[in-house]
Each structure stands twice: as structure tokens, then as C-alpha cells.
């Protein structure tokens, strides 16, 4: 079954919990990024993890030691998985994965961003990033739903690695991504709606129809 992951980029903790509870029936996991964590504190990860497993999207991108500290904070706070940038190289990914293994967690590696700027530099090396992530033993990849041709190439290079695709909805990504990905990440098209539960339900119907 393909996954529906909610990117919960709101700024208020109470609102985040309220939305998560409303859509929990239809989403598989919740992805949190810096806006929510910096606004409310790292404790929001633990609170949300009581509702659904949490992906800490900290796009870890530093030297190995610092990156391992970030990963450890995320996992100690209840995250089920973390997202790291692949351009930092194998040594950083190895350290992040080492921490994840201690917590039976997962590491997802960004291949290229779903925004237009992702083509400026990252598209040129994204397949190399896939190769490094596979060699290190990371669990999955983050690849754009906004560029299906690129996603198709990444899928071919990824083998049996998981692929999760952001960019659906507000960024104009296509649900065609589900042909190549194991799950889609949806943010504003759910949490910014008047009825987030209904929006999540509609996305679940799309997934089940693939």
C-alpha cells in the first residue's frame, strides 16, 4: 500500500496536534520541519508521535559529528526517521545511519529538491546521491513529484529503496509520482484547507485508486 504522509508545517503546537488528530485516520506518518520545531520546541515531535509515526525533516547537512548530534536529538525526541541531505557525502550519511540504527530508525536522503531551484545544482548530481545512499545502506530517498522524468530515473537507480515524493499540491507535483514512489508527502493542500480531514480523505482515495 502506498503511503500518505502529512507535511505539518504550521507554527502553532496546538494547531498541529488538532490537525494531526483530525487526519490520523487517513495518513500513515507525519513529517515535521524546522518551522514547527523552532516555534514550539523539540517536544512537539514526541507529542505528535503519540498520534502517528514522525519523520524529522531536518535535512541534516553538516559535518559527520554535528549531523550525528542532530539525528540523536530527533530520535531521542520520538522521531521514527530522519531526512538528511545527500550532497554532504558518505561520511555524514554513515554517521546519521549509525545513530538511526541505535534507535531502530530510518534515514531518508534528499536527491533533489522539488522546487525549481532543485535543478540548478542538485539535479546534476542526484543519481550520484542515490548511488551513495544505497552504498551506505540508507533506507530511502526523497525525490520530486514535480519532475516525473527525473523521478523515473531516480526510481531506476534506486532499486528497491523506498522513495517518498514531496511537492504534491501547492507546488504542482503530479500524483503520477505514485507510479514510481512508495508514498507522497502532502502539506498545504491538507493542513491549509478549511476541512483538513476531508482533504486527507480525498488523497487517501487517490492513493487507493492507483
CA distance 142 to 151: 10
> How many CA atoms does the CB half-sphere of 101 hold within 13 Å?
9
Count of all residues that appear for the chain in the document: 210
Which residue in 56, 64, 66, 58 sits closest to 91, CA to CA? Answer: 64
Point out the residues that are catalytic. Answer: 59
Question: In which region does residue 197 sit, left (phi positive, over 0), alpha (psi from -120 to 50) or beta (all else)?
Answer: alpha
What are 84's three cell numbers? 538528511
Q: Are 168 and 202 in contact (CB under 8 A)?
A: no
Amino acid at each position: 500500500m502506498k503511503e500518505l504522509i502529512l507535511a505539518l508545517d504550521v507554527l502553532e503546537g496546538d494547531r498541529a496536534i488538532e490537525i494531526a488528530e483530525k487526519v490520523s485516520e487517513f495518513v500513515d506518518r507525519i513529517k515535521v520541519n524546522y518551522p514547527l520545531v523552532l516555534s514550539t520546541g523539540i517536544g512537539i515531535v514526541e507529542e505528535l508521535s503519540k498520534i502517528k509515526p514522525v519523520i524529522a525533516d531536518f535535512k541534516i547537512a553538516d559535518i559527520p559529528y554535528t549531523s550525528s548530534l542532530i539525528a540523536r536529538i530527533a530520535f531521542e525526541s520520538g522521531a521514527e526517521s530522519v531526512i538528511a541531505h545527500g550532497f554532504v557525502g558518505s561520511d555524514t550519511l554513515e554517521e546519521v545511519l549509525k545513530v538511526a540504527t541505535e534507535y531502530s530508525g530510518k534515514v531518508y536522503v534528499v536527491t533533489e529538491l522539488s522546487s525549481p531551484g532543485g535543478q540548478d545544482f542538485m539535479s546534476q548530481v542526484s543519481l550520484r546521491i542515490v548511488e551513495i545512499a544505497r552504498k551506505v545502506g540508507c533506507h530511502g530517498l526523497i525525490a520530486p513529484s514535480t519532475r516525473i522524468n527525473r523521478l523515473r530515473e531516480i526510481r531506476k537507480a534506486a532499486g528497491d529503496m523506498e522513495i517518498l515524493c514531496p511537492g504534491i499540491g501547492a507546488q504542482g507535483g503530479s500524483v503520477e509520482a505514485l507510479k514510481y514512489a512508495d508514498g507522497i508527502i502532502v502539506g498545504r493542500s491538507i493542513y491549509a484547507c478549511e476541512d483538513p480531514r476531508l482533504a486527507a480523505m480525498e488523497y487517501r482515495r487517490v492513493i487507493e485508486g492507483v
